[in-house]
Chain A
Amino acid sequence: MDNPLTHAADFFGDDHSESTKLMSRSLGSRILTALCIALSFAALIPLASILYLVVKNGLPQLDWEIFTQLPPAAGMTGGGLGNAVIGTLVMVGLGLALSAPPGILAAIYICEYEPNGRIAAATRFTAKLLTGIPSIICGVFAFAAVVLATGKFSALAGGVALAVLMLPTILLTSEQALLGVQRAYREASYGLGATRFQTIGRIVLPEAMPAIMTGVMLAVARAAGETAPLVFTALFSQFWMSSLMEPTASLSVLIYNFSTMPFEHQVKMAWTASLVLVFLVTATNITAQLVFSKKH
């Protein structure tokens, strides 16, 4: 080619068959991209419609009294969900306190101390098995272990049931979080003369913390919405709670009770309780993300 500007056609092989192939390839790629976008929106539809329904039906009754009053008796109007909000917070908090420390510590053991040992393999296997267990079984377990032993339905029994439910999720997500910490960080720490304890406490755990907290929040979100483990452990109560050893109200059981009642007001309260529950879970989630997100 004498003129350097004219050989582009040669260079790119601009004959028709080639460019048609390229066209169809980029067309296929575009169709797939469009399909991905469309399906992403489709996946959002159920989520968005649930949120829409909960807000639409729950918001009109939402006022301050909802948080300060006790639930109305069957057929009565007025009242609130105050004791159920407190009961849910207490029992989820109790479940968290009972499951997070052993869950995270067990994850540290099976990840940092003896990853190939028998105890680690057995723990991992048991945890995976437990994640698949229906939540009602956790309730039955807590019923047998706590309710029968103490002779009464209680917030403690509810907390234990939720803890059993949360433990495997926390353990397995924490293990993944720890495995995600680069080996180079551990080597650097050991290379500077750190003990295993120091390496875990100062380097590995802080690095894994955001991911561990994500797992914990997943567990909390799931536990907060569970009804089955609470119906025959904490039962329900029309009154403010005064100790951990008495039947206790919760939002999920309140929703379950009220939504099946033939009274319009109670059904509306169930919607409001759903809205409060969704709000509580979202708020804890966002707070945890903010507090534990990496500061760097």
Chain B
Amino acid sequence: MSETTTAASRPVAAAPSPAADAPPRRLIISVRNFNFFYGNKQALQEINLDIPEKQVTAFIGPSGCGKTTLLRNFNRMNELIDGVRHTGDITLAGRSLWDPSLEVIALRRLVGMVFQKSNPFAKSIYENVVYSLRIAGVRDRTVLEETVERSLRGAALWDEVKDRLHESALGLSGGQMQRLCIARAIANRPKVLLMDEPCSALDPIATARVEQLISELKKDYTIVIVTHNMQQATRCSDHTGFFYLGQLVEFAETSKIFTRPSEKRTLDYVTGRFG
């Protein structure tokens, strides 16, 4: 994709929300002829997909359809599993994720991740947020403190926890823990934020907060979210990809996927006829 060859610039705050007829956005992630295998089992087949910058892209589909597998390739998390391999390529701002000069550590700093089950460390709230800075060797107190406030504000958690930053993160409620994980993920200013069913363990009120947060975060970050909840995809995403049996059946603007999809399988799924 020629649009993606320029390096992504540092995210600038508050780009105006995209109107329906906004000019086409730059593409930040491009997936080309991508196949992925766990041992001998093929989990993804010939995926081709472009993810636009600073928008929310949702992946939907029944369990086992490959949506999480694809998401976990964007920061090469799948490589923690033995016996995986892929063919084809995925590029981030024009550069292959498997480019030997791009270290996986550096990639994961650019592409943050929020997991299905919130997983704060058994440390204080403060230490959770600054973890990525600590491992990068940042020691400057002002930088650390500024990051904690910015990240927690960014995750809409600051007002709830500002008086107990040094208490254990394990004392937070489920929804607060997940927002803490989001704060932790945005602490080192990634370009892309991957979210793997971030609300599946949350109650409706906590879910609403996280969804509201997602629409605020897309001013600064490109977000890719995997969800089982189709209402969630319609509420907070701009583009939606429907996966089925390891294939990308259809990828289009969210409104199109849910109102007039081109594929019958997509229509059957989004109208609840299967899955």
Please report A residues at the B interface, Cβ cutoff 8 Å: 116, 182, 184-195, 198, 202-203, 206-207, 294, 296
Given A184-B115, A184-B117, check contact A190 B77 (CB 8 Å). Answer: yes
Cβ of B112 under 8 Å from chain A: yes
Residues of B within 8 Å of A195, CB to CB, are 105, 135
Residues of B within 8 Å of A187, CB to CB, are 77, 80, 115, 119
Q: Is the CB of B121 within 8 A of A193?
A: no
Given A116-B82, A296-B168, check contact A191 B113 (CB 8 Å). Answer: yes
Interface residues of B in 69-94 (CB under 8 A from A): 75, 77, 80, 82
Interface on chain A toward B: helix, strand, loop, or mixed SS? helix
CB-based A-B contact count at 8 angstroms:
66
Q: List 16 A-B contacts (CB under 8 A).
A: A182-B119, A186-B80, A190-B77, A191-B108, A191-B112, A191-B115, A192-B132, A192-B185, A193-B105, A193-B106, A193-B109, A194-B131, A202-B131, A206-B122, A296-B123, A296-B168
Given A198-B135, A202-B134, A202-B135, check contact A190 B108 (CB 8 Å). Answer: yes
Cβ of B239 under 8 Å from chain A: no
Q: Is the CB of A188 within 8 A of B122?
A: no
Residues of B within 8 Å of A203, CB to CB, are 121
Cβ of B179 under 8 Å from chain A: no
Interface residues of B in 99-135 (CB under 8 A from A): 105-106, 108-109, 112-113, 115, 117, 119-123, 131-132, 134-135
Residues of A within 8 Å of B117, CB to CB, are 184
Give chain B's interface residue range (CB within 8 Å of chain A). 20 to 34
| A182 to B185 Cα, complex, angstroms | 19
Residues of B within 8 Å of A206, CB to CB, are 122
Q: Is the CB of B188 within 8 A of A191?
A: no
Cβ of B191 under 8 Å from chain A: no
Cβ of B136 under 8 Å from chain A: yes
- Residue in A182, A186, A192, A207 whose beta carbon sits within 8 Å of that of B188 in the complex: A192
Q: In the complex, how many angstroms separate the beta carbon of B66 from the nearest chain A beta carbon?
A: 19
Q: Is the CB of B121 within 8 A of A188?
A: yes
Q: Closest residue to B131 on the A side, CB-wise? A: A192
Cβ of B170 under 8 Å from chain A: yes
Q: Is the CB of B122 within 8 A of A296?
A: yes
Q: Is the CB of A296 within 8 A of B135?
A: no
Q: Is the CB of A193 within 8 A of B115?
A: no
| A35 to B170 Cα, complex, angstroms | 38
Residues of B within 8 Å of A185, CB to CB, are 119, 121-122
Q: In the complex, how many angstroms separate the beta carbon of B229 from the nearest chain A beta carbon?
A: 21
Q: Is the CB of B131 within 8 A of A189?
A: yes
Residues of A within 8 Å of B135, CB to CB, are 192-195, 198, 202
List the 8 closest A-B pairs by CB distance, nearest first. Answer: A184-B119, A193-B109, A191-B113, A193-B108, A192-B132, A296-B168, A188-B119, A198-B135
Interface residues of B in 176-222 (CB under 8 A from A): 181, 184-185, 188
Residues of A within 8 Å of B109, CB to CB, are 192-193
Q: In the complex, how many angstroms separate the beta carbon of B222 from the nearest chain A beta carbon?
A: 16
Residues of B within 8 Å of A193, CB to CB, are 105-106, 108-109, 132, 135-136, 188
Q: Is the CB of A190 within 8 A of B121?
A: no
| A182 to B82 Cα, complex, angstroms | 18
Q: Closest residue to A198 on the B side, CB-wise? A: B135
| A275 to B136 Cα, complex, angstroms | 52
Q: In the complex, how many angstroms separate the beta carbon of A235 from the nearest chain B beta carbon?
A: 47
Residues of B within 8 Å of A198, CB to CB, are 135
Residues of A within 8 Å of B131, CB to CB, are 189, 192, 194, 202
Q: In the complex, how many angstroms separate the beta carbon of B139 from the nearest chain A beta carbon?
A: 15
B45-73 near A? 1/0 per residue, CB < 8 Å: 00000000000000000000000000000
Q: In the complex, how many angstroms separate the beta carbon of A156 from the nearest chain B beta carbon?
A: 40
Q: Is the CB of B119 within 8 A of A190?
A: no
Q: In the complex, how many angstroms separate the beta carbon of B160 from the nearest chain A beta carbon?
A: 19
Q: Is the CB of B136 within 8 A of A188?
A: no
Q: In the complex, how many angstroms separate the beta carbon of B19 from the nearest chain A beta carbon?
A: 34
Q: Is the CB of B105 within 8 A of A207?
A: no
Residues of A within 8 Å of B115, CB to CB, are 184, 187-188, 191
Q: Is the CB of B77 within 8 A of A191?
A: yes
Q: In the complex, how many angstroms separate the beta carbon of A190 from the nearest chain B beta carbon?
A: 6
| A147 to B227 Cα, complex, angstroms | 67
Residues of B within 8 Å of A189, CB to CB, are 121, 131
| A103 to B272 Cα, complex, angstroms | 55
- Residue in B105, B132, B170, B184 whose beta carbon sits within 8 Å of that of A296 in the complex: B170
